[in-house]
Amino acid sequence: MRPGKPAQQPSPALAASLAGAVDLAAVKARSEAAARAAEAPAPVSGEYIVDVTEATFQSAVIDRSFQVPVLIDLWADWCQPCKQLSPILERLANESAGQWVLAKIDTDANPRIAQALSVQSIPTVYAVISGQLVPGFQGALPEAQVREFVAAVLKAAEQANLSEAGATSDAEPAADPRFDAAEKALAEGDYAAAAQAFQSILDAEPSNADAASALRQVALLQRIDALDASALSRADGAPGDVAAQLAAADYALAGGDVEAAFARLLQTLRRTSGDDRDAVRDRLVEYFDILGPEDPRVGPARRQLASALF
């Protein structure tokens, strides 16, 4: 809540709670991680393969991904397919000579990482580019297909303007100064200024995924900033009021109750039609985009949305 706003408006604690639901602090965290990566030495010969633990995940995977793409190999000693895939990944990592880094994570020793990544089976491979998780594959693929995946990751990193992609390991990444004003405004609770700053980035670079994601999150915060606790009671008392249902869903999401927000919108979708139905669908899709495909709650809700629509 900014100075001068009525007391009944959501407090900073409410806005802060949104970070647990949609990672609103991601932009700021990416900036800090990029700064740490810029100060850290780039990978040198012999350091293209690293064993990662919960204690080193931030520095070895997230921070490092601002220098070069990081491929995550989730494995366990008892897993026979892992013993087929890991040597391929290790060989390719050494061949790359610093174009990317292989992070090996023993899921038995680091179960919380596996849980956070929603790992269903092993081996599982992900990529991380500039702090963003990129879906990979499960199972032991032939070397040719693994090479195709690595090539796709390097291409994605290049498109994301990751300075290290396809370059030697001597280069140092540069932080994007255009985000500074947006992050400062966001930290101060000036959502209008933050939205304007992120929009200016998109105007100059329409494909900037970070700015687009941040802008969606700021738009959500702007809506939440206009709500109060009565949003839920108003919606419960008027199930046919679509605007009230959308507001109540925003409020639930802000409080970290993602399932309740999804459930409310899906129920509303089933009893609406026309423009109202489109508005509810669009709000659900917005939530999916903000949370990201790796969030385990998104997949089931997306399937329920498809079922309700078709």
pLDDT tens readout for residues 12-33:
433 443 444 344 445 445 555 5
**Could you tell me the residue ranges of all domains in the chain?**
43-159, 230-309
* 3-state secondary structure (DSSP) of residue 127: strand
Give the residue numbers marked as catalytic.
79, 82
Encoding tokens for residue 303? 């399937």
pLDDT at 25: 46
CB 223 within 8 A of CB 247: yes
Which CATH number is 43-159 given?
3.40.30.10
Residue 299 pLDDT level (bands cut at 50, 70, 90): confident
- Please name which of 90, 91, 94, 73 lies closest in space to residue 139, comparing C-alpha atoms: 73
pLDDT tens readout for residues 174-189:
556 788 888 888 778 7
pLDDT at 11: 37
